[in-house]
Structure 1
Amino acid sequence: MPPPDDFAEFYAATFRPLTAQLHAYTGNHAEAQDMVQEAFCRAYSHWGKISGYDDPAAWVRRVAWNMAISRWRRTRRFLNFHRDLAPEPLAGPNGNRIDLAHALAQLPPQQRQAVVLHYLADLPVRDVAEFMGAAEGTVKSWLHRARTALGVQLGLDEQEVNHA
């Protein structure tokens, strides 16, 4: 599919799916929206060039994910330094979505990113590997480990995990 010539059309078609991906990764919808919005602002300033790419959405996705990963690293360093200042987690309402979000948050970052890109963004393993700069076998391993860990956290039996 050729890229849309109109930035507004491109934005409307790609903002929500990309925000959902980053929300699943970060666990914070407002942060995800901010990062995706910033990525679109950067794309807009170079739209003449980016609109000519085979997949301009991939460029925006890369920028947004880079921001999410950078923010995660900065936050992790800060929390490790100020561990005593972090508030106790609050118990939230029950529900499958909340359970899944909590389970995803427990995964190591590479596994969480692979799961989000493969299952939520619907990217094939090959594309996830290219996006993450990893071998396909590594991504398959991350996905397998993530499914296993998610299954344990969500109380699924092995058969349910393997058919997910």
Structure 2
Amino acid sequence: MPPPAPSAAERGDPAFADLYLSHFQRLATQLYAYLGDHAEAQDLTQEAFCRAFDRWHRISVYDDPAAWVRRVAWNLATSRLRRRLTALRYLSRQREEHLPGPEPDRVALVRALAELPARQRRAVVLHHLGHLTTAEIAEQEGVAEGTVRSWLSRGRTALAASLTDPREENSRVRAAH
């Protein structure tokens, strides 16, 4: 494989430096007017000149190397605008959803369930929310059905204690006397 062609810098080619100095500002100004962002216009102009520099051994023989750089810069700017427009369209389709927070009863239930031992919590959830029978839970957990009934009983008792409002309990006790 032949060695790569020497770059413009390696050849000390002043033609590239002249091209850069005579066209950079004009091209950056054109892209600024097109894009509306000065820094982005300069970045894209610089990118076009970097691409020209990498290919200078071919581009230097063109009739108008500046036309190649200008075309590359404008293509980069157009691509950038398209990507920006695509992103804006996507974002405009995204709607912010405001969902109500959980009700206080649900928060209390989740908190009370979290305080139960894992086996009792699993049994209560599977039975009351999953609508499984004690036999199905016993089979799933690999325990006797009586064990599941025990977990359910203890879990319900603990939940009742956690979920009962102490003020309601006091008023019930007073009403009973």
TM bucket normalised to smaller: 0.3 to 0.5
Q: Which has the higher contact order (CA 8 A, sep 6+)?
A: 1
Which one has a bigger Cα radius of gyration? Answer: 2
